[in-house]
Amino acid sequence: METVETAEIWHIPNQEIQASNIVRLTKEMANDLIDKVWWENIPGEKRDDEWDDHWVWTELIAERESDGAYEFLAIVSKENYVEGAMIYKSVIDSKLEGGSFCGYIDYIASAPRNRAWVVTNPVYGGVGTVLTYKAVKRSYESALGGKVFLQSLPRDRTMEFYRKIGFERTDLAQPLTDLISFELPEAKAKEWLEKQGDL
Amino acid sequence: MIKFNSELVDEVVGGGGQLSEKYLSENSVELNLKNITDEVDRNIAILSALHPNLLVRFRDNDLSLLSKDDKKVLLRGMYQILGIKPLNDKR
């Protein structure tokens, strides 16, 4: 596995911070460590409520790998388990700031075993935060000001999480039953980078 | 190293929507980062695509001939011209 960066995540059972690796996600890894593993012990009724239980990460990567602007990343814990994954596109048009560009989180997901609303005893916390932050860093390093666009599930807690970071809705006319478009403006991205000690 | 931030701990699932055409204007930048795995190389490639005049300023350096340290210097120079404060190097 090719490590891109290290990151701290919260091990919930031990109540301690642990180091993890952000790595490049290959199709082989996606097949062996996500598609075959993530949902195997999740009961059907729990899966039904999750939008991503039908995502096949191997195929998502295969469909995009010919486009050189995409990056496929995963966060791997010291147990060698893929705790979350993200497909990031380096450049799309910004919706909030016309005429400029931003990064784009095409797909992002924490492993089901880390979702407190899916399992009784989630294993890691902060995986989604790390992946989102990685996208912001990538956008900033690419001279896009840290701006990132994404489409959130219309779940209250997820949207609240993005709002807390500073993401803003880009289309208030979107119905709250569908994916909701959010973009993190440059000022908020920089605030987050400063708070993390990276800027 | 991305530090743990206890104020922002949550798990997310998102995406899967078709990106509207309005986000892919004629101005969109063609990028090919497929075979570029090095972080510094990627950033130089993206900056060069977004700001084509930058590499001219650096006399069209052949990146393959530069050492990793030289590439970092080149990247810092690009950031300086663009008025971008580099991220702290905590690795």
Of B4, B9, B28, the CB nearest to A91: B28
Prediction ipTM score: 0.83
d(C-alpha B48, C-alpha B50), whole Å: 6
Token match 């980078």: residue?
A193
* Cα–Cα distance, A138 to A140 (Å, whole number): 5
Beta carbon pairs, A and B, within 8 Å: 171
- Chain B interface includes A4 (CB < 8 A): yes
C-beta separation of A149 from A188 below 8 A? no
Strands A70-76 and A82-93: antiparallel
Instruction: Please indicate whether, in this complex, the C-beta atoms of A126 and B24 are within 8 angstroms of each other.
Output: no
Q: What residues pair up with A183 in beta bridges, in sequence order?
A: A149, A168
pLDDT for A171 equals 85
Give the residue from A4, A12, A90 with the most B CB atoms within 10 Å of its CB, the best one to mutate. A90
| 3-state DSSP assignment of residue A48 | helix
Tens-digit pLDDT profile for residues A24-46:
999 999 999 999 999 999 999 99
Residues of chain A with pLDDT > 70: what percent?
100
DSSP state of A69: T
The string of pLDDT tens digits covering residues A95-114 is 898 888 999 999 999 999 99
Which token pair is A164?
């807390």
The pLDDT value recorded for residue A99 is 84
Rounded Cα gap, residues A136 and A148, in angstroms: 6
Nearest-by-Cβ selection for B5 from A91, A95, A196 = A196
For residue B18, what pLDDT is reported? Answer: 67
Average pLDDT value for chain A: 93
Closest residue, chain A, to B81 (C-alpha): A143
Is the minimum CB–CB distance between B32 and chain A shorter than 8 Å? yes
Whether the pLDDT of residue A169 is over 60: the answer is yes
Arithmetic mean of pLDDT, A85-94: 92
Q: Report chain A residues whose CB lies below 8 A from the CB of B45.
A: none
- Selected residues 41-70 of chain B with any CB under 8 Å from a CB in chain A: 43, 46-47, 49-51
- How does the average pLDDT of chain B come out, rounded? 77
Question: What pLDDT, on a 0 to 100 scale, did the predictor assign at position B56?
Answer: 64
B interface mutation test: which of A151, A169, A181, A190 has the most B CBs within 10 A? A151
Mean pLDDT (whole number) for A112-137: 94
3-state SS of chain A: helix, strand, coil percent to 5? Answer: 30, 30, 40
**pLDDT surpasses 90 at A55:** yes
For residue A188, which of A165, A170, A169 has the smallest C-alpha distance? A165
> Cα(B26)–Cα(A188) distance, rounded to whole angstroms?
27
Tokens of A107: 């797909």
Which pLDDT band, with edges at 50, 70 and 90, does A174 fall under?
A: confident
- Say what the pLDDT of residue A21 is: 98
The 10 Å CB-count burial string (b at 16+, else e) for A133-153 is bbbbbbbbbbbbbbbbbbbbb
Give the pLDDT band of residue A121 (cuts 50, 70, 90). Answer: very high
More confident residue, A135 or B6: A135
What's the full length of chain B, in residues? 91
**Hey, which residues does A172 pair with through a beta bridge?**
none
C-alpha B64/C-alpha B37 separation (Å) is: 13
Q: Answer yes or no: is pLDDT of A190 > 90.
A: yes
Q: Do A125 and B9 touch (CB under 8 A)?
A: yes
| The pLDDT value given to residue B23 | 56
Partners of A17 in the β-ladder: A10
Using the structure block, give the residue that is written with the tokens 């609240």: A160
pLDDT tens for B42-80 read: 888 888 888 877 766 666 556 778 888 988 998 999 999
Instruction: Quote the pTM value.
Output: 0.92
3-state DSSP assignment of residue A186: helix
- When comparing pLDDT for B16 and A148, which is higher? A148
Model pLDDT, residue B59: 61
Place of tokens 């400063």: A194
Per-residue pLDDT at B64: 77
Which of A69, A93, A199 lies at the smallest CB-CB distance from B33? A69
Q: What mean pLDDT do residues A178-199 have?
A: 94
